[in-house]
Amino acid sequence: MIKIRTKMQNIKERKQKTLIPFIIAGLPEEDIGLNCIKAIEQGGCDILELGVPFSDPVADGEVIERFHHRGIRKGLNLAKSLDFASKIKNTTHLKLILFSYYNPIYKMGLDVFKKECRDAGIDSLIIPDMPLDEMPVLKQYGLEAIPLVAPSSTDDRIQMAAEQDPAFIYCVSVRGVTGVRSVFPEQEIKDYLKRVASITNAPLAMGFGISNPDQIRKFHEYADAFVIGSYLQQLIERNESRTNELPGIIEKTINGFMQATV
């Protein structure tokens, strides 16, 4: 099985950066969500970050928070998200990163969670509320997690993230929560990404706020991957009533971002 790190290396050899779209599992409806994900692949992506609806998504901004709460109202949870992931695996070639807060994983139990992830084709995990100090326990269960660092992270914390030997390190671009941003503190982020790169050889993925291809171009030489979440979820939210047109809108949008990764 090709792992996330191998896929990213393959993309790098094509002289591209990796684009990682984020989408909440099972929304707006399962069929619509699957069609959007197929469109993401058609747009040129190789990796997808799949979010598990959660009642208290403390790292997420207004747009993604709305999707979390919609999912909870529909009865979506970790088990149903993993079932949705298996359907993605059966219909696409995308590598899957599961984004979940830790409480649902703890409730399921790591032994069961490990088996369910394997059966669903999950390649890696992002658990934003799990401290770096506690992440090694996941490796004991054969689970690969992606550590997160932020502009406020000390060099020691970044070193701790690097010692996890991750497929990549997720570099939160700004202080605060996710959300569409038209303006970034450009030099501050470049300096921050350079600082992380000076401490680790792991690939770096920049996320939180990326909402247009020009932002990828601005940071192109400073990161190996770029995550788009709130912008994509907002696009789905605005066009979800146009079920026949939505996949085409998604594919065109993703293709535009992909052009910026070259």
Residue 60 confidence (pLDDT): 76
* The residue to which tokens 């219909």 are assigned: 91
Task: Tell me whether residue 242 is in a domain.
Answer: yes
Q: How does DSSP classify residue 52?
A: P
d(CA 218, CA 63): 24
Q: Domain tally for the chain?
A: 1
Write the pLDDT tens digit of every residue in 18-74.
999 999 999 999 999 999 999 999 999 999 999 999 998 877 778 889 999 999 999
**Token duo for residue 195:** 């600082």
User: Annotated active-site positions, please?
Assistant: 49, 60
Task: Tell me whether residue 17 is in a domain.
Answer: yes
CA 74 to chain CA mean position, Å: 22
pLDDT above 50: residue 92: yes
Residue 61 confidence (pLDDT): 73
Confidence of residue 234 (pLDDT cuts 50, 70, 90): very high
Task: Tell me whether residue 143 is in a domain.
Answer: yes
Q: Tell me the three state secondary structure of residue 246.
A: helix
Task: Tell me whether residue 118 is in a domain.
Answer: yes
Residues 6 or more apart from 39 whose CB is under 8 A from it? 246, 247, 248, 250, 251, 254
Write the pLDDT tens digit of every residue in 134-172.
998 998 898 999 999 999 999 999 999 999 999 999 999
Task: Tell me whether residue 86 is in a domain.
Answer: yes
Task: Tell me whether residue 167 is in a domain.
Answer: yes
Domain at 92, CATH number: 3.20.20.70
Domain that holds residue 231: 4-254
Task: Tell me whether residue 261 is in a domain.
Answer: no
